[in-house]
A and B are shown apart, each in its own frame.
Chain A
Amino acid sequence: MEEHKSLGKVSQSPTVPGNVHGKRKFDIADLYNRPAGTVAENAGESYGLDEKLRKAYFWIANYAIINPFCDIEYNNTAPNRYVIGDNKTGLTLATGQSYASFILFPLLTLVTRRKCLLVGGPGRGKTSSAMIMGLLAGYSMKDIKRAVQHGQPQMTVSDLLGNPLPSDMVSAKSMDDIKIAWRKWLGMKVKIIDEYNRIPARTQSALLNVMSENYAELLDQVYDCPEAAWYLTANDDAGGGTYQVIEALKDRIDIVVRALHFNTRFLKDLLDRVERGIKPEEMIPAEIIFTEDEIEIINREILEVDIPDRLMRRIEYFASQFELLESGGEQIEYKTKDNVKLSGTAIPQVMQSETGKDQLKDISYQTMNGLSVRAFMTCLTFIKALAYFRGNDKAEFSDVRHILPFVLHDKLAQNSDSPFFEQPENMVYRYDRVSWIRKLFDLSCAEYDKAGLDKKDPVGELLAAFARGLDGTTESQAEHTVQQIEKMLGDISAGRKLYAPQFDDILTLKYLHQRYTNYLRWLKWKE
Chain B
Amino acid sequence: MERVIPEGMRESLERNRSSLNSIFEYNRPANREPDYDDIFSLFYRMIIPVYEEGSGFTDDLLCGLFDTVLKLSGKGYIGKDGRFRAVEEKFFLMLRLFPGLLASEKNFISALYNGLFNLYSKSKDAMDNWSAKMILLRSNKDFDVFRRNGFILAWRYGITRYRMEALEMLHSLKNDDIRIIFDLENMTQPDIERFLLSLKNDPWVSCGDAEEKSGPVFLFADGFAGYGGHFKSIPDVFSSDGELFAADGTDIYRIFADSFGVELVHEPDISPGRGSGNGAGTVYGMTGKIVIAGKSYQLPGFSAGSIRSSASVSHTSAWTLQSSYKIFIAGIRTGNG
Contact = CB atoms under 8 A, between A and B. Distances in A.
Interface string A27-40: 11111100111011
Given A26-B36, A36-B40, A39-B37, 4 more contacts: A21-B33, A28-B16, A29-B13, A31-B43
B24 A35 contact: no
A500 to B, nearest CB: 41
Nearest to A36: B3
A31 B40 contact: yes
Nearest to B18: A28
A37 B9 contact: no
Interface in A290-330: none
A30 B24 CA distance: 13
B36 A39 contact: yes
A24 interface: yes
Contact of A30 (B9, B28, B33, B40): B40
Contacts of A29: 13-14, 17
B265 interface: no
B21 A26 contact: yes
Contacts of A27: 17, 21
Interface string B1-22: 1110100011001101100110
Nearest to B3: A36
Interface in B38-55: 39-41, 43-44
Nearest to A37: B1
Contacts of A39: 36-37
The 3 closest A-B pairs by CB, nearest first: A36-B3, A28-B20, A31-B40
Nearest to A29: B17
6 contacts: A26-B28, A26-B34, A28-B16, A28-B17, A39-B36, A40-B37
B52 to A, nearest CB: 14
B47 to A, nearest CB: 10
- Most chain A beta-carbon contacts within 10 A, residue among B14, B16, B24, B36: B36
Contact of A36 (B10, B21, B28, B41): B41
Nearest to A39: B37
Contacts of A40: 37
A508 B265 CA distance: 68
Contact of A32 (B9, B37, B39): B9
Contacts of A21: 33
Contacts of B5: 31-32
A31 B62 CA distance: 14
B25 interface: yes
A35 B2 contact: yes
A33 to B, nearest CB: 9
Interface in B290-326: none
B305 to A, nearest CB: 53
A28 B36 CA distance: 9
A86 to B, nearest CB: 54
Contacts of A32: 5, 9-10, 13-14
Contacts of B10: 32
B286 to A, nearest CB: 63
A122 B20 CA distance: 53
Contacts of A28: 13, 16-17, 20-21, 24, 40, 66
A372 B316 CA distance: 89
A28 B44 CA distance: 11
Nearest to B20: A28
Nearest to A24: B36
A35 B28 CA distance: 24
A31 B14 CA distance: 10
A156 B84 CA distance: 71
Contacts of B66: 28
Contacts of B34: 26
Contacts of B39: 26
A217 B5 CA distance: 42
B71 to A, nearest CB: 15
A32 B38 CA distance: 14
Contacts of A26: 21, 24-25, 28, 34, 36, 39
B2 A36 contact: yes
- Most chain B beta-carbon contacts within 10 A, residue among A36, A37, A40: A36
Contacts of B33: 21
A40 B37 CA distance: 7
A20 to B, nearest CB: 9
- Most chain B beta-carbon contacts within 10 A, residue among A26, A29, A39: A26
A36 B1 contact: yes
Nearest to B6: A32
Contacts of B37: 37, 39-40
A28 B39 CA distance: 9
B3 A30 contact: no
Interface in B174-203: none
A69 to B, nearest CB: 36
Interface string A1-30: 000000000000000000001001011111
Contacts of A31: 3, 5, 13, 40, 43-44
